[in-house]
Amino acid sequence: MITSLTGVRRAATAVLAGGLLLTVSPLAAPAQAATQPIPSISAKGGFLLDQADGKAIYGKANNTRRQMASTTKLVTAITVLTQTGVDLNKKVTVKQAYRDYVTREGASTADLRTGDKLTVRQLLSALMLPSGCDAAYALADTFGTGSTRTARTQSFIGKMNKKATQLGLTNTKFDSFDGISPTGNNYTTPWDLAKLARHAMSSSVFRDVVKATSYKTTAPTSTGGTRTYTWYNTNKLLGSYSGAIGVKTGTGTAAGPCLVFAATRNGKTYTGVVLNGTDRFNDAAKLLDFGFGSSTARTMKLRSLPVDAQRD
């Protein structure tokens, strides 16, 4: 829970097992944030950290495990990008199984067409902007190992879990490549997910993907033609909050609306998470304002998505 500023200096020394912060502390916050009231957010859990050093700025229920919906895909992306010798220009052929999966699950989609050949770089945009579960499937199938699609995707999920272990995240587990959890064992905490996001944002390719409000590209079809794809970023904080640079939305029945976000101003970057929040974009703006010592959230107007764009 969030503490009030009264007595917080004493609370600042409290830690949970494993050394995770229990409470918000103005001792950890930047000087400008220390003069601001701790923000009230709709989300059941939230966290904000300094991208440069990982220092905690804010936390609410930051060690409570929750499902994370499509914010899972940022881990899908960084797992791909940290593969040894990854070739972003490698062509991947879209299989009908990817489209069938999206239809069966009623999932968000990049509308990848069977037989089209997209590069890994293109698939990363298809994954992160419209939150394409078909793109997630394609990447997991490509970068996992095994003789069947099931074996390859399970192998890839294993790599995602290995990534969490490497980062010391003991409250994070994945059972899916896209956040559509078949067992309910796809969970994280605000603190863990913020740390994952900080790791992902250290990749220049990842940053380039997630900062775009839209992405237009072409891909060869199975018949020798060319198809044009246009994807819009479901993260409406981009283009709405000054300095916003990413990163990923997520919405699910169990998870509720979620958002991983980041912004840079005057050379300072903050990265944060809100899980299960009814007003996630304004929650994110409030937390960023807390870090930057600003009041942008009060006047922010959210960017509108085209009628035919995916929502997540």
Active site residues: 70, 73, 131
State the alpha helices, DSSP H only, in 16-119: 31-34, 73-81, 96-105
Helix pair angle (133-143, 96-105), 10° resolution = 130
What is the maximum alpha-carbon separation in the chain?
Answer: 69
Helix (H) or strand (E) holding 281: helix 280-292
From the CB of residue 301, how many other CB atoms can be counted at a distance below 10 Å? 7
The residues, ordered by sequence, that sit 6+ positions from 23 with a Cβ below 8 Å of its Cβ are 1, 2, 3, 8, 11, 12, 14, 59
State the alpha helices, DSSP H only, in 167-279: 190-200, 204-210
Cis peptide before 247 (omega within 30 of 0): yes
Give the β-pairing of 66-67 and 268-275: unpaired
